[in-house]
């Protein structure tokens, strides 16, 4: 197959249809077989991995990558490239083979040979950041599909601002039965259908097999009907017929809705005894089976060898979008200078530093002049009112709790199918989908997503938050109603273990600001931390403002600091977060009445505090005889600050349904309880 015979990936649909429908069947088969052989060989060498899916989807992937996908291995982060998401991440050898074959420099044959080995870029499941060309980390089924919805939203939003000449690409997904069985897929496809994301194309590996055996063991959903019901165009094709794959993709290019193409395939295609069986899903095929597959496929090359003519054809496929890239570069160079600078800034993820600093400073000055006794969720809204206008990359949202989360500021336009220029998303009651869609927007680039839901429902978002942390992406979650302080909704809605559970996620910043000033500072920190997701845990109930003096510095950046203290030495140190800083301050006052000097340390962010230099940590923890932690949540994690012999005033059970002030009394999270604990320890009770 010559490079010329392959239609360019970047041409417009009408032009593309002029191109030959397919290269010769033999050439296609040889190219697809190169993927199959590499997958078999790499899994065999690693003695672990999943050969079945790459072998089954090799035909689909070959048509997609040689004829449709707009990408340039020499410029893997070209902003207007099509995004390709391998949602079925266990089939990682499919993407590694494609990256090698199409000519991504980093993906050498040595890397393929070192599949799943320490320090290789070919990890068990594709990991964002390990190799150029991997758009997201996949493996937990369903996540990639939902990420793709976020990428497709990001594309439409940026196109609405910068124009189709600058932003005009598609998002392609390969998804498996497992992806579609996961609940998150329903949230994602429903949102995609609702928003009519017509440049999102999902290729479903409809092989009827999962780990336990036939899908029929556990599922009888008609996926085509399901997607149609969600507002997609959906069809079924033979996933081993290149002409049918080509035709379906051609049709998809003109769709006015997102597109599902259910590709009937045979898992482990070519394996003589394991094809079509779960036996090819997740273990090496074995030498004998591989020999049989080579014979059946007519592949005589040695392991890890791709015949020169086939490799050449693949490398040519990797150059298809060169003209499109040249044209795009021309267009972007013709952009108005300030628009160009803005586009570059957004894509790089750089902040408008001065504007951001100015907005936070103005807010803090205002709060110093006129202190506000408000809930921290309202303080967050105040912060957003100053931030959203100066940070157009912020796209907010809520999972149907907009009025409770205070994440939508006045006049903030919502994104809709008819108009993507807004900066707020009504995610519907879809927390998991929301968190994964946000990851997709952050991965796409040009956007800083922030969300809204109740902290207790962070459990519903957790798998996606974990991946944002793993991928080092700036995704900001606003989670309100952060304790028993929410009151009457009761224990179903009162987070108790959630702060501890979230603090357990590596690389996630969990902020729990105590007042309006800390809330502004925590927002600033979340925005300025490019490589970590953040969680802002905010109150429903009103809290006093403690920081009444204007500080130009961001004091919360240290994670913990003394917010109130005696002039001299303290006998008691009280550490608290969020709404319980008020309890701690009142407790210190009671102790003062008894002649005992106590200091209060506000701990808006454990992670930032524990990351400080030892001197600072020591100084803040101090050497008072009594250390007390106060947080309306479980103790887990607090020993790092108060020590295992520290006292803790918090929750040891689920909450209850009642007005919140009564709950604080019932669960003994009060100034009296703090003072009592200290006095007992000091032997003064």
Ligand X SMILES: Cc1ncc(C[n+]2csc(CCOP(=O)(O)OP(=O)(O)O)c2C)c(N)n1
Contact residues toward ligand X (CB under 6 A) are 52-53, 88, 90-91, 139-141, 176-178, 182, 205, 207, 209-211, 267, 281
Q: Check: CB of residue 568 under 8 Å from CB of residue 597.
A: yes
CB of 210 to ligand X, least distance (A): 3
Q: Check: CB of residue 172 under 8 Å from CB of residue 201.
A: yes
Nearest residue to ligand X by CB is 178
673 φ/ψ sector (left φ>0, alpha ψ -120 to 50, else beta): alpha
Question: Based on CB atoms, which residue is closest to ligand X, 146 or 200?
Answer: 146
Question: Based on CB atoms, which residue is closest to ligand X, 52 or 193?
Answer: 52
CB of 211 to ligand X, least distance (A): 5
Of residues 569, 561, 556, the one with CA closest to residue 626: 569
Question: Based on CB atoms, which residue is closest to ligand X, 141 or 590?
Answer: 141
* Residues in a beta bridge with 233: 259
- 3-state SS, 446-464, equals CCEEEEEEEHHHHHHHHHH
Question: Based on CB atoms, which residue is closest to ligand X, 46 or 53?
Answer: 53
Question: Based on CB atoms, which residue is closest to ligand X, 22 or 263?
Answer: 263
Question: Based on CB atoms, which residue is closest to ligand X, 141 or 148?
Answer: 141
Alpha-carbon distance of 344 to 331, in angstroms, equals 14
Question: Based on CB atoms, which residue is closest to ligand X, 44 or 182?
Answer: 182
CB of 142 to ligand X, least distance (A): 6
Alpha-carbon distance of 301 to 565, in angstroms, equals 76
CB of 125 to ligand X, least distance (A): 8
CA distances for 114 relative to 117, 558, 619, angstroms: 5, 42, 48
Alpha-carbon distance of 347 to 335, in angstroms, equals 15
CB of 141 to ligand X, least distance (A): 4
CA distances for 625 relative to 171, 637, 646, angstroms: 59, 20, 10
The C-alpha torsion from 41 through 42 and 48 to 50, rounded to 10°, is -80
CB of 116 to ligand X, least distance (A): 15
Question: Based on CB atoms, which residue is closest to ligand X, 469 or 514?
Answer: 469
* Owner of token pair 């449709």: 68
* Residues in a beta bridge with 83: 171
Give the residue numbers marked as catalytic: 431
Alpha-carbon distance of 92 to 570, in angstroms, equals 58
Q: How many Cβ atoms from other residues are within 10 Å of residue 672's Cβ?
A: 13
Q: Considering all CA atoms of the chain, what is the largest pairwise distance in Å, rounded to the nearest integer?
A: 91
CB of 175 to ligand X, least distance (A): 8
Question: Based on CB atoms, which residue is closest to ligand X, 109 or 214?
Answer: 214
- 3-state SS, 89-135, equals HHHHHHHHHHHHHHCCCCCCHHHHHCCCCCCCCCCCCCCCCCCCCCC
Burial class, 519, CB count within 10 angstroms (exposed 0-12 / middle 13-18 / buried 19+):
buried
CB of 241 to ligand X, least distance (A): 19
Handedness of CA 484, 486, 492, 495 (dihedral sign): negative
Alpha-carbon distance of 533 to 476, in angstroms, equals 6
Burial class, 18, CB count within 10 angstroms (exposed 0-12 / middle 13-18 / buried 19+):
exposed
Q: Check: CB of residue 98 under 8 Å from CB of residue 65.
A: yes
* Residues in a beta bridge with 236: 262
CB of 107 to ligand X, least distance (A): 22
How many Cα atoms occupy the beta-carbon half-sphere of 41 within 13 Å?
Answer: 23
């Amino acid at each position: 197959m010559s490079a010329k015979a392959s239609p360019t990936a970047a041409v417009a649909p009408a032009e593309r249809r002029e191109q030959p429908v397919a290269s010769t069947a033999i050439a296609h088969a040889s190219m697809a077989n190169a993927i199959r052989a590499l997958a078999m060989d790499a899994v065999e060498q690693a003695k672990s991995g999943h050969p079945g899916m790459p072998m089954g989807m090799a035909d689909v992937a070959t048509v997609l990558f040689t004829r449709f996908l707009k990408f340039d291995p020499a410029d893997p982060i070209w902003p207007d490239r099509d995004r390709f998401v391998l949602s079925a991440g266990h089939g990682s050898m499919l993407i590694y083979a494609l990256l090698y074959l199409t000519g991504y420099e980093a993906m050498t044959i040595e890397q393929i040979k070192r599949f799943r080995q320490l320090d290789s870029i070919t990890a068990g499941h594709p990991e964002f950041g390990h190799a150029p060309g991997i758009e997201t980390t996949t493996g937990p089924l369903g996540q990639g599909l939902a990420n793709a919805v976020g990428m497709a939203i990001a594309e439409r939003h940026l196109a609405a601002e910068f124009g189709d000449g600058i932003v005009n690409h598609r998002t392609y997904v390969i998804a498996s039965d497992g992806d579609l069985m996961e609940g998150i897929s329903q949230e994602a496809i429903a949102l995609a259908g609702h928003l009519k994301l017509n440049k999102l194309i999902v290729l479903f590996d409809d092989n009827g097999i999962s780990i336990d055996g036939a899908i029929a063991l556990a599922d009888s959903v008609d996926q085509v009907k399901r997607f149609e019901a969600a507002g997609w165009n959906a069809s079924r094709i033979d996933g081993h017929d290149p002409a049918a794959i080509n035709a379906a993709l051609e049709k998809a290019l003109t769709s006015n809705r997102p597109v599902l193409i259910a590709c009937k395939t045979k898992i482990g295609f070519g394996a003589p005894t394991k094809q079509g069986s779960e036996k090819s899903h997740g273990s090496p095929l074995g030498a004998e089976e591989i020999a049989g597959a080579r014979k059946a496929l007519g592949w005589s090359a040695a392991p890890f060898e791709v015949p020169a003519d086939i490799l050449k054809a693949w490398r040519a496929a990797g150059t298809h979008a060169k003209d499109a890239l040249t044209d795009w570069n021309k267009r972007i160079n013709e952009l108005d200078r300030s628009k160009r600078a803005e586009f570059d800034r957004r894509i790089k993820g750089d902040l408008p530093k001065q504007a951001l600093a100015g907005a936070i400073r103005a807010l803090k000055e205002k709060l110093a002049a006129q202190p506000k006794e408000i809930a921290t969720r309202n303080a967050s809204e105040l912060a957003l009112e100053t931030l959203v206008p100066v940070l157009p990359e912020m796209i907010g949202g809520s999972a149907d709790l907009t009025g409770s989360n205070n994440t939508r500021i006045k006049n903030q336009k919502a994104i809709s199918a008819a108009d993507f220029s807004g900066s707020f998303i009504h995610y519907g009651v879809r927390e998991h989908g929301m968190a994964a869609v946000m990851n997709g927007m952050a991965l796409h680039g040009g956007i800083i997503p922030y969300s809204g839901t109740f902290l207790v429902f962070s459990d519903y978002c957790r798998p996606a938050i974990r991946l944002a942390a793993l991928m080092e992406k700036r995704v900001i979650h606003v989670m309100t109603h952060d304790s028993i302080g929410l009151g009457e909704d009761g224990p179903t809605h009162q987070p108790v273990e959630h702060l501890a559970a979230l603090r357990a996620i590596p690389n996630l910043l969990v902020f729990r600001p105590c007042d309006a000033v800390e809330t502004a500072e925590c927002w600033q920190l979340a925005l300025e931390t490019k490589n970590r997701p953040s969680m802002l845990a905010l109150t429903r109930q009103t809290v006093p403002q403690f920081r009444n003096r204007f500080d130009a510095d961001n004091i919360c950046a240290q994670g913990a600091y003394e917010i109130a203290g005696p002039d001299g030495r303290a006998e008691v140190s009280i550490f608290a977060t969020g709404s319980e800083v008020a309890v701690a301050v009142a407790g210190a006052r009671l102790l003062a009445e008894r002649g005992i000097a106590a200091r209060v340390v506000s701990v808006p962010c454990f992670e930032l505090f524990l990351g400080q230099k030892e001197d600072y940590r020591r100084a803040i923890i101090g050497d008072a005889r009594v250390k007390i932690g106060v947080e309306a949540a479980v103790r887990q994690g607090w020993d790092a600050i108060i020590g295992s012999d520290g006292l803790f005033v918090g929750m040891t059970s689920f909450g209850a349904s009642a007005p919140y002030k009564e709950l604080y009394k019932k669960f003994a999270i009060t100034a009296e309880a703090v003072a009592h604990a200290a006095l007992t320890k000091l032997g003064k009770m």
